[in-house]
């Protein structure tokens, strides 16, 4: 509620950390963590709610509980997710992530453990590893385009799809920086872009600061996102980012 008062347009809730070294949790535990929060927010606010999950079973449950959007950091790893999207009218944020498992079967808790191991090791599924920094943007666009075609072929309307280039996922420091720098190009695909780089390692790599000292770096990325016509930024420090965005938009509107 404080985030909403500070100007957040959407609240993103996650029941499982996806930072490097995280411990996967079961679908049941994830639902037990997330659903009560959704219900409590709904008692006080009708702000749109996004849920950060890559499990179709969790997605189905949280949509029933009142979530409006699924934020899937797994790059559509769970094939059942498409059926969830076909059954509902929720918005879907598709994030590029070459480290996610791609087995054509139900995504389960063991897959989550393999996903964690794969991310930590840089993984056999990490197709970004052999990409030159100059090639990474085209690689991400091509990958996202392939998954978008899967969604469209399944009958998911294009206006329900948001793209996230996946800063910090299966990309090295230079590739992360290039992904941020080229964020405008992802919008040229015709789909709205969500940029999630708040407090991430790319800021620590550049500034040499720990995670709790990355506000200025986050604000710099947000400013770049505004200049690049990115419609969504996912941030931790809502008030500061909202004020920055308002100021930049006021300057641009006065030009």
∠ Cα 196 136 238 (to 5°) = 10
Give me the catalytic one of 160, 234, 239, 252. 234
| Alpha-helix runs per DSSP H in 88-130 | 109-121
* Placement of tokens 């978008």 in the chain: 148
Catalytic residue among 200, 214, 239, 243: 200
**Residue 133, C-beta contacts closer than 8 angstroms, at least 6 positions apart:** 174, 175, 178
Does residue 77 sit in helix, strand or coil? Answer: coil
User: Quick check: helix, strand or coil at residue 209?
Assistant: coil
**Is 200 annotated as catalytic?**
yes
160 carries an active-site annotation? no
Burial 14-29 (b: 16+ CB within 10 A, else e): bbbebeeeeebbebee
Residues 78 and 190: their CA atoms lie apart, in Å, by: 25
Residue 39 belongs to what H/E stretch? helix 27-44
Return the active site residues. Answer: 200, 234
């Amino acid at each position: 509620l404080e985030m909403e008062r500070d100007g957040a347009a959407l609240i993103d809730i996650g029941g499982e950390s996806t930072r490097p070294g995280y411990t996967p949790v079961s679908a049941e535990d994830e639902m037990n963590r997330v659903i009560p929060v959704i219900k409590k927010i709904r008692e006080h606010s009708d702000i749109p709610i996004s849920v950060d999950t890559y499990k179709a079973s969790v997605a189905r449950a949280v949509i029933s509980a009142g979530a409006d959007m699924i934020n899937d950091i797994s790059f559509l790893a769970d094939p059942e997710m498409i059926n969830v999207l076909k059954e509902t009218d929720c918005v879907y944020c598709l994030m590029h992530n070459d480290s996610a498992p791609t087995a054509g079967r139900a995504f389960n808790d063991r897959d989550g453990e393999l996903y964690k191991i794969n991310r930590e090791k840089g993984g056999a599924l990490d197709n970004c590893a052999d990409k030159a920094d100059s090639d990474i943007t085209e690689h991400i666009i091509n990958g996202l385009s392939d998954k978008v075609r899967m969604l469209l072929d399944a009958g998911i309307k294009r206006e329900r799809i948001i793209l996230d280039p996946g800063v910090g996922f299966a990309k090295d420091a230079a590739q992360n920086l290039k992904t941020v720098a080229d964020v405008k190009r992802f919008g040229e695909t015709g789909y709205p872009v969500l940029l999630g780089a708040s407090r991430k390692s790319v800021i620590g790599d550049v500034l040499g600061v720990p995670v709790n000292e990355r506000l200025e770096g986050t604000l710099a990325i947000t400013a770049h996102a505004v200049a690049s016509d990115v419609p969504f930024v996912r941030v931790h420090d809502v008030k500061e980012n909202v004020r920055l965005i308002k100021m930049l938009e006021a300057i641009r509107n006065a030009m």
